[in-house]
Amino acid sequence: MSPDLSLRSLLGSSLLPSNEARLLMAYVLEKHYQLPRSALISKDSMALDPGALAEWQSLETKRSNGEPIAYLIGKRGFHNIELYVAPGVLIPRPETELLVEIGLHEITRLKQASDTQAKLLDLGTGSGAIALAIAYAAPQALITATDQSAEAIKIAKRNVKELGLEKRVELIQGSWYEPLDQQSFDIILSNPPYIAKQDPHLNQGDLRFEPTSALTDHATGLTCLESIISGAREHLHPNGFIAVEHGFDQSGAVMNLMIAAGLREVKAYLDLAGHHRVASGRK
């Protein structure tokens, strides 16, 4: 008797959590048969051909070994956009959407105050998540994004093109403010590496597969934040605004860095889990 290779049987016998198995199977159906996710239900008696079956088994094994789903299927939803992601960049996380919302709120405030086109800088853009989510949601904004990683810039450029945002998003390779000369901005946002080098989380879950340089500064977790905050005044317009994401236990230290850098209106923000996740200040 031949094995049952139907979607129903393969998903039912998978050792993966149901939601993960269905995400991976939906990817296989789209790639091999151009079928939508709804086919998981409407065509659940359909049997996979050998090529699709081999890919499903490979994906199932890789996920069982801990590889992130976002890397396996090459995409991740973030805010109101979908991004291409690969092992060269950090996987965008829901908590970073807080930084996007803060940036959008400041863009709205600027428009109401002067009706000018906001200039925004995203430092350490990775896949382009923050820059592109804001560009997509705020057509009046002009975005510059930097990253020192050539691979990250390559991935971000692909996302810029796929979202059709080439005219409003400029990508520049370089470390933090280094490639910007004397440019200044209304808003600076950043989600830099902020995990301390000895943090055990680096050896757990998805973090094991993500680029180390995007996660940790290989020091205390504050050195990148300090560089960004200390250089902010030089690159902000008068009354300009900066907001940075940080670790759940770094709020006090980051706010002190902002005060020491001469920023005013320093403020902390809570994420949906109730952790202090973002700090902001104004020139």
Model pLDDT for residues 74-127, shown as the tens digit of each residue: 999 999 999 999 999 999 999 999 999 999 999 999 998 887 889 999 999 999
For residue 154, what pLDDT band results from cuts at 50, 70 and 90?
Answer: very high
Percentage of residues of the chain with pLDDT beyond 90: 91
Which residues is 140 bridged to in the sheet? none
Of the CATH numbers 1.20.950.20, 3.30.870.10, 3.40.50.150, 2.160.10.10, which one belongs to the domain with range 88-282?
3.40.50.150
Predicted pLDDT at 243: 98
**Mean pLDDT, rounded, for 233-239:** 97
Tokens linked to 194: 């902020």
> Which pTM was predicted?
0.94
For residue 181, what pLDDT band results from cuts at 50, 70 and 90?
Answer: confident
Hunting for tokens 């340089």 — which residue is that?
Answer: 213
Q: What is the 3-state secondary structure (H, E, C) of the chain?
A: CCCCCEHHHHHHHCCCCHHHHHHHHHHHHHHHHCCCCCHHHHCCCCECCHHHHHHHHHHHHHHHCCCCHHHHHCEEEECCEEEECCCCCCCCCHHHHHHHHHHHHHHHHHHHHHCCCCEEEEECCCCCHHHHHHHHHCCCCEEEEEECCHHHHHHHHHHHHHCCCCCCEEEEECCCCHHHCCCCEEEEEECCCCECCCCHHHHCHHHHHCCHHHCECCCCCCHHHHHHHHCCHHHEEEEEEEEEECCCCCHHHHHHHHHHCCCEEEEEEECCCCCEEEEEEEC
Predicted pLDDT at 1: 58
**Mean pLDDT, rounded, for 176-189:** 95
Predicted pLDDT at 37: 93
Q: Are 202 and 216 in contact (CB under 8 A)?
A: yes
Nearest partner of 195 among 266, 93, 67, judged by Cα:
93
